[in-house]
């Protein structure tokens, strides 16, 4: 694909339900990020995958949030027992990630998944 693809583009869910958000990064990119952006706010870091290294999960706001990246490609962000404060745009990005650190500076973002918890 030409860019980072996220699905679904919009998701409305009832409070307490689980949701799964999918990200297809650019082929060959070893670094993958999840951020979320609330209305009028900046990008809140959630999780970062870099190659085969252990992911940086330091931004996950609670144990209801988890993410995995299978085969170094597709990633899924799962939110269990959704709450209204989880409503936001969830952005995925990927970058070449290697062989030099500068390859980590340009992150290519998808269009995001707009999650609304009602």
Partner 1 sequence: QKEVEQDPGPLSVPEGAIVSLNCTYSNSAFQYFMWYRQYSRKGPELLMYTYSSGNKEDGRFTAQVDKSSKYISLFIRDSQPSDSATYLCAFTSGFQKLVFGTGTRLLVSP
Q: How far is the CB of 106 from partner 1 (least distance, A)?
A: 5
3-class SS of residue 58: coil
Pick out residues in 53-112 that bind partner 1 (CB under 8 A). 56, 58-59, 91, 93, 97-98, 101-102, 104-107, 109-112
Contacts of 33 (CB under 8 A, 6+ apart): 45, 46, 47, 48, 49, 92, 93, 94, 95, 107
Residue of 5, 11, 43, 69 that binds partner 1 (CB under 8 A):
43
Binding of partner 1 at residue 11 (CB under 8 A)? no
- Quote the longest CA-to-CA distance of the chain: 44
Asked if 48 contacts 31 with a C-beta cutoff of 8 angstroms, the reply is: yes
Task: Please give the residue ranges that form the binding site for partner 1 (CB under 8 A).
Answer: 4, 33, 35, 40-43, 45, 48, 50, 56, 58-59, 91, 93, 97-98, 101-102, 104-107, 109-112
């Amino acid at each position: 694909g030409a860019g980072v693809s996220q699905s679904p583009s919009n998701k409305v869910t009832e409070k307490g339900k689980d949701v799964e958000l999918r990200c297809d990064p650019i082929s060959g990119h070893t670094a993958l990020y999840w951020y979320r952006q609330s209305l009028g706010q900046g990008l809140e870091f959630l999780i970062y995958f870099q190659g085969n290294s252990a992911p940086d999960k330091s931004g996950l706001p609670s144990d209801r949030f988890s993410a995995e990246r299978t085969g170094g490609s597709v990633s899924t962000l799962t939110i269990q027992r959704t709450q209204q404060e989880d409503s936001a745009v969830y952005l995925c990005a990927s970058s070449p990630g290697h062989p030099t650190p500068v390859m980590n500076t340009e992150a290519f973002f998808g269009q995001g998944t707009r999650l609304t918890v009602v």
